[in-house]
Amino acid sequence: MNSAQFDRASEAARFVAEHAGSPVPDLAVVLGSGLGDFASHLADATDIAYADIPHWPAARVVGHAGRLVIGSAGGRRVAALSGRAPSYEGHDMLTVTFATRAIGLLGVKVLILTNAAGGINTSFSQGALMAIDDHLNLMGTNPLVGPNDDRFGHRFPDMTEVYSRRLRALAAEVARARGTTLEHGVYAGLHGPSYETPAEIRYLRAIGADAVGMSTVPEAIVARQMGIEVLGISCITNMAAGVLPAPLDHAEVMATASRVKDAFIGLLEGVIGGLR
């Protein structure tokens, strides 16, 4: 990573700060496939298209609106990123993690990463919500590969607790209070865009994965390098290949995300409102 990445991320952060109003949000939520409705629940919101933010990568996947919405929820100012730029579109890791870098420079201290994921753990039901306790980086690369810019953080950041124990406990407490089932498990991040084969799913289950997807892991690594506290929430929008005798389809992902959106939004609002 060269200094140009820091300069570009800083320029994007300044642009957002100028348009965000006061106070600048210290919490951000990245919304995965089909989960973007949370952004429409923010009060007193400012809506910025990714295309208008300097250097910000586009979000082209169906179910990703490609907009940054800044507003209020749970008594806090929140930045909601409706969509992301995944590596399977051909982006390098600098591009995939650009938004994370920019919001870190904006001053975000807590990042909630959400995604649509395939269920590997056979005790999970389709539509379940899962707090990510840990991850397996099986993407074949790492977003910190290359020259390190110390202004973003240490060369060798500790990954003992990528996903905050404090925030996971808060999410579990909120879920219990709302009568929402919140599973816990390990998320495996793969490159995609093809779904995994049944043999690959058997392998992932054998090495400890409970859910699988194509995002989140690079963002979480970069966030931790920058000292940002991370909570990860997966929506199990489909059961992974071989779990059920049916082919996988992105339309099913979108339909399931829509079906559970109220529980998902309620969990997010409860977590945000419970932060201290």
Q: What CATH number does the domain containing 39 carry?
A: 3.40.50.1580
pLDDT at 268: 96
pLDDT of residue 238: 82
Per-residue model confidence (pLDDT) at position 202 = 95
Q: Taking phi first (over 0 means left), then psi (-120 to 50 degrees means alpha), and beta for anything else, what does residue 48 get?
A: beta
pLDDT tens for 55-105 read: 999 877 655 578 999 999 988 999 999 989 999 999 999 999 999 999 999
- Contact (CB, 8 A) for 51 and 67: no
Percent of the chain with pLDDT over 70: 94
**Boundaries of domain holding 132:** 3-274
Residue 116: pLDDT over 80: yes
pTM: 0.93
Quote the number of domains for the chain: 1
Instruction: Enumerate residues 6+ apart whose C-beta is below 8 A from 217.
Output: 135, 137, 139, 187, 189
Residue 29 pLDDT grade (very low, low, confident, very high; cuts 50, 70, 90): very high
Tell me the mean pLDDT in the region 192-215.
95
Give the DSSP H/E element, type plus range, for residue 237: strand 229-239
Average pLDDT, the chain: 92
Token pair 């997010």 in the structure block, residue: 268
Q: Check pLDDT > 90 for residue 245.
A: no
Task: Kindly report whether the peptide bond that precedes residue 23 is cis, defined as omega within 30 degrees of 0.
Answer: yes
pLDDT for position 17: 96
Residue 226 has pLDDT above 60, yes or no: yes
